[in-house]
Structure 1
Amino acid sequence: MSTLPVNRVDSLPADALPPGGGLASPTPVRWGDGALVGLFAIALIGLLKAASAVLVPISAALVLTFVFAPVVRRLRRHGIHEAAGAGIVVVALIATTLLAFSSLAGPATQWWERAPTTLAQLMDRFDHLRIGSRNEGQRETGGPIPPARSGAASATPPQALPSDSIKEQLATEGVALTRVVIGRLLFFCVSAAATVILLYFLLASEHWVVSRSVEAIPRRRSRALFLGGLRSVQREISHFLSSLALVNFGVGLAMIVATWWLGLPNPVLWGTVSGALNFIPYLGPIIASALLLMAGIVTFDTLPAMMAPAAALLIVHGIESNFISPFFVGKRLSLSPVSMCLSVMCWGWLWGMAGAVMAVPILVAARAVCKRRRSLRLWHVYMEGSVRPASSLRALLRGKHRAETQRLA
């Protein structure tokens, strides 16, 4: 047999090389597949963004179906048909929501009517605090303090001109702001009506849809996996949201008591706002604290009293997030803080406030799906929170090297 030159091996066909020897050809990198995946992801994000008016009611109805479907099944076991049970659940949900809105409509309308005046008062308070701090600094450094002007000059200080222009701008743009609010309110009403109607049909036909879906799967093992995964997602979302609702109800009650004790008007409104915004991780308490801070600045005169309502919310939220929520939610449903923050940011950017509210239920469902799929276990690790301390990288590398050595031996 003639020996082939080494530099001519690359020119040989693949079948000319021996099966167990020769040069191993590298696996080609399929850039086309990666580009298709990237284009598909971009198109999917664009679709989620463009079709938010349709997808938000559907997603909200699905999340609520996961929460209330066990109630309908329990009613069915007691002899109540699915349609009647779904009607009972939907009517109870609508009645509770309307009762809450009717009790809060009066205080919310008062604060909304006072919004231009409130903003003007905030500007005046900030100007007063800024001028007072500047004069105090000049007293401490021994610098000259500008004397107070008399007559017409003192009646119209230079600092009043920006505030007057802002007040005029707020007055001229009030009609446009009201038009935008009315448009948003009409859109919210239409989306809420679509969500309620779809929720009723999903609850009434949940058993039929699940049974037909299981029947369409040919293999018995696949049927068991599908039904087990669906019930797992439903159970985890229901338990998580019910526990979170109970915790946020306690936050609302605590803020009602705190704002009433501090003397802030409409304590029921502020407690409800604090409890409702607490459904949004991280961003919700920040927004509620900012609102309470503005209400305190408008209502009170001293700096400690102005900051007291926002400080009370931060204290209540700290106790809730560190002690109460871990006890009620449990370690089994704990989520990674990074994954929760990213989920709120992404879904809030896609669907606004509704997406931020549904970000955590969507994350819980995605984690349950990744937990049952072996190919997605790595994503489940990133989504799941854990109190167990992570091993050092050196120990992990040493363990990997030891396992590789044992495998080769």
Structure 2
Amino acid sequence: MRDVALPPSSMRRWATRGLLLIALIFLLKEASAIVLPVLVALILTFVLAPAVRTMRHHGVPEAVSAAMLVTTVVGCTVLAAALLAEPAAQWWERAPQALSQGLNRVDRWRASIPGFGPPTERRASRAAPPPADPLRERLASEGVALTAQLVGGGLRLMVSAAATTILLYFLLASEHWVLSRCIELLPHRPRLRCSVLSGLRAAQRDISRYMVSVTAINLVVGGVVAGAMWLLDLPNPGLWGALAVLLNFIPYLGPLIMAGLLLAASVATSPGDGGLGALLAPVAAYLCLHGLEANVVTPLVVGKRLSMNPLSVLLSVMFWGWLWGVAGAVLAVPLLICLRSFSQRNRRMRPVALYLRGSDRPCPPLATLLREAAPRRERR
């Protein structure tokens, strides 16, 4: 029998790490109901912890300051949900009529394309029922399933929100204690403890600055979008402004979803005799506002210090969005900032920080890099 050569130890080690990484990814996907509230609470703790430390320096106990901040956040969220509940209910009530109007317009567009039009009624036989449209039947059959999914998702969201709120309070109230215990568990090496503490503080500072800046920008964008939709006579402009605020937290994919929603609303509510310009006006107005915000306002407010490589941001949004849906897409950039903060302080992970860091400096030509590498090989 022929002996089979075993792979080297390094190959076995890398294969084991790869299998562990794959197992960890699927574990995170299956455990999203537990991991997501913890991560959201941690990110909110990074954002709100500086306020708790400031109030502690002024003599306010951490438990009291944490309760004040959590109550403020929950109150603002409930108030926003209460203000948007009526417009959302109006859209939900008018959804069948809006869907029918949109389908009629789509049917006219399909009829103008040979071979794609809906089936027509046969006049030869009055007793025979008209053939059904497969598109309408599918939408009608999936409406019940969509309603059930929305109800189930709403219940899961309420449970996750309650767990996140409770966990956020305890993390804010004991942030100093938890951080001290984590540093105390490290080996007695001052350099290692300083590196871990500086990495945590840097991640906390960068995530806090990013979230506060982006939230302020998104609120302004939402107000401008609501005003633009009001000028364009799109129903419930406040609802569209709120959706613009929420979806703008998702880089690249969020604005595309918002543009698709505005196009669907414009198709469903615009008059049938309206031209193509009136139909596309809400989408065009939103895309112009988003282009101004993404290319001018955000780079000026966020600054170069928090700039990220666009390719890494897109890949992070795609990965975490696939893993945890919309919540993962929202957490993609804060998690990327956290990874960059720690990789900058780890010698082995500094190449990762180099790829994640955004830079306005143009890359040198490849020929120049090759000429710089040649003398190094000669010296060796």
Same fold (TM over 0.5): yes
Q: Secondary structure at the match of 1:372?
A: coil
**For residue 319 of structure 1, what is the aligned residue in structure 2?**
292
- SS of residue paired to 2:305: helix
Alignment match of 1:362 (pick from 322, 335, 350): 335
Look up the match of 1:89. Answer: 69
In structure 2, which of residues 371, 375, 380 is the aligned counterpart of residue 402 of structure 1? 375
Shift of 1:115: 2.4
Measured after TM superposition, the shift of residue 53 of structure 1 is 0.8
Q: Which amino acid is 2:95 matched to?
A: A
> Counterpart of 1:294 in structure 2: which amino acid?
A
Cα distance change, pair 233–188 in 1 and its aligned pair in 2 (3 A):
same
Kept in 1: contact 2:98–2:269 (CA 8 A): no
Residues 11-70 of structure 1: CA deviation (Å, up to 9, x unaligned): xxxxxxxxxxxxxxxx96732112101111111111111111110101100000000000
- Determine if contact 2:262/2:282 at 8 Å carries over to the other structure: yes
Q: Which runs of 5+ in 1 are unaligned?
A: 1-26, 135-148
1:69 aligns with 2:53: no
Corresponding letter in the other structure for 1:34: W
TM-score by length of 2: 0.90
2:83 aligns with 103
Structure 1's 335 and 153: CA in aligned 2 closer, same or farther, altered over 3 A?
Answer: same
The reply on whether 1:391 has 2:364 as its aligned counterpart is yes
Match runs of 1:30-69 below 5 Å = 30-69=10-49
**2:203 aligned partner:** 233
CA distance 1:39–1:133, change in 2 (3 Å):
closer
Return the offset for 1:133.
6.8
For normalisation by structure 1, the TM-score amounts to 0.84
Alignment match, 2:157: 188
Alpha-carbon deviation of 1:171? 4.4
TM-superposed CA distance for 1:214, in Å, is 2.2
What is the CA distance between 1:132 and its match in structure 2?
A: 4.9
Instruction: Report the CA distance shift for 1:392/1:170 in structure 2 as closer, same or farther (over 3 A).
Output: closer
Q: Label 1:403 to 1:118 Cα distance change in 2 as closer, same or farther (>3 A).
A: same
In structure 2, the CA distance between the partners of 1:395 and 1:168, relative to structure 1 (3 Å rule), is closer
Partner of 1:114: 94
Change (3 A) 1:400 1:166: closer
Structure 2 counterpart of 1:65, which letter? T
Deviation at 1:393, TM superposition (A): 1.1
The separation in 2 between residues aligned to 1:386 and 1:348, in whole angstroms, is 25
Q: Secondary structure at the match of 2:361?
A: coil
Computing the radius of gyration from Cα coordinates, the structure with the larger value is 1
Q: How does 1:2-401 map to 2 (within 5 A)?
A: 30-132=10-112, 153=123, 161-163=131-133, 166-167=135-136, 170-217=139-186, 218-300=188-270, 301-401=274-374
**1:299–1:306 CA contact under 8 A, matched in 2:** no
C-alpha contact 1:256 1:268 (8 A) present in aligned 2: yes
Match of 1:12 in 2: none
Instruction: Give the C-alpha shift of residue 118 in structure 1.
Output: 2.3
Cα distance in 1 between the residues matched to 2:143 and 2:290 = 34
Amino acid at match of 2:216: L
Residues 168 and 31 (structure 1), Cα distance of their counterparts in 2 relative to 1, 3 Å cut: closer
Any runs of at least 4 consecutive aligned residues in structure 1 with deviations exceeding 3 A, and if so which? 130-134, 151-154, 160-163, 165-176
Superposition RMSD on alpha carbons, in Å?
2.2
The separation in 2 between residues aligned to 1:214 and 1:355, in whole angstroms, is: 28
- Does 353-362 or 177-186 show the bigger shift? 177-186
1:39 and 1:80 map into 2 onto residues whose CA distance is 48
In 2: Cα distance, 1:69 partner to 1:236 partner: 13
Shift of 1:246: 1.0
The number of residues matched between the two structures is: 361
| Unmatched 5+ stretches in structure 2 | 1-6, 115-119
